[in-house]
């Protein structure tokens, strides 16, 4: 059997009303993706208006994209860098004191390459407190990054990351333990 995209059907997937999605598409482009908007508070305001749960002290840099804010939770004092893409087809939960560096991608969706119809598959992503996602790193669907784990630059997490582990590579493997000085 061969891939047959004519049979693709994701009618089961209903992330929200078409009006809500269209309105969010407009505000996402105007407010979040806009590289000339340096105002983190404005981004937080519109994310909350559209249903995101966001804690205090969150910093959001220019040129980010969030697919569906009503499927997003962010804890306190989290930083989201330039050009981060949160493709949250499912719930994305980001803890407190998390740093997501520039160009990182959180991808809750994928396709089942074993089926001719190339079915959509979605799973949540969780970044627990203190996690650091390096620049241009990718988190795949269903991954849990346990507290204070680090995913280094240009790495791919397609499996869960242990607490305080430092991970590197494609796919990411644990290279050492993270030790945080209490200065």
- The DSSP result for 100-140, as a single string, is E-TT-EEE-EEE-TTSTT--EEE--EEE-TT-EEPTT-EE-
Give the percent of the chain with pLDDT over 70. Answer: 100
In degrees, rounded to 5, the angle at the alpha carbon of residue 62 between the alpha carbons of residues 60 and 64 is 75
H helical segments located in 28-178: 40-49
Residue 182 lies in a domain: no
The answer to whether residue 31 sits within a structural domain is: yes
pTM more than 0.85: yes
**What CA–CA distance (Å, rounded) separates 140 from 43?**
25
* 7 found inside a domain: no
Helix (H) or strand (E) holding 165: strand 165-168
The pLDDT of residue 94 is 98
**Mean pLDDT across the chain:** 97
Residue 7 backbone dihedrals phi, psi, to 5 degrees: -95, 0
* 112 in Cβ contact with 122 (< 8 Å): no
Give the pLDDT of residue 48: 98
Asked, for residue 65, whether it belongs to a domain, the answer is: yes
Is 90 inside a domain boundary? yes
Query: Do the Cβ atoms of 155 and 140 come closer than 8 Å?
Result: no
**Mean pLDDT, range 91-100, rounded to an integer:** 98
Let me know if residue 101 belongs to a domain. yes
Question: pLDDT for 137-167, tens place per residue?
Answer: 999 999 999 999 999 999 999 999 999 999 9
Instruction: Please write the tens of the pLDDT for every residue from 105-122.
Output: 999 999 999 999 999 999
Q: How many domains is the chain built from?
A: 1
The pLDDT value recorded for residue 40 is 96
pLDDT attached to residue 5: 93
CATH at 94: 2.160.10.10
Q: Is residue 2 part of a domain?
A: no
Domain of 81, in residue numbers: 17-176
pLDDT of residue 1: 74
| Residue 129 domain flag | yes
**pLDDT over 80 (residue 183):** no
């Amino acid at each position: 059997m061969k891939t047959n995209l004519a049979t693709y059907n994701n009618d089961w997937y209903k992330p929200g009303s078409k009006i809500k999605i269209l309105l969010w598409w407009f505000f996402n482009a105007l407010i979040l993706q806009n590289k000339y908007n340096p105002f983190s508070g404005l981004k937080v305001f519109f994310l909350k208006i559209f249903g995101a749960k966001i804690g205090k002290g969150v910093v959001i840099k220019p040129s980010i994209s969030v697919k569906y804010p009503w499927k997003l939770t962010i804890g306190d004092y989290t930083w989201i860098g330039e050009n981060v893409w949160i493709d949250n087809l499912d719930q994305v939960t980001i803890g407190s004191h998390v740093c997501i560096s520039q160009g990182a991608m959180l991808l809750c969706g994928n396709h089942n390459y074993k089926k001719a119809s190339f079915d959509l598959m979605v799973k949540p992503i969780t970044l627990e407190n203190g996690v650091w996602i390096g620049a241009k790193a990718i988190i795949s669907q269903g991954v849990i990054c346990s507290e204070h784990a680090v995913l280094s630059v240009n790495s791919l997490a397609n499996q869960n990351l242990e607490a305080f582990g430092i991970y590197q590579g494609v796919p990411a493997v644990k290279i050492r333990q993270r030790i945080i000085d209490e200065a």
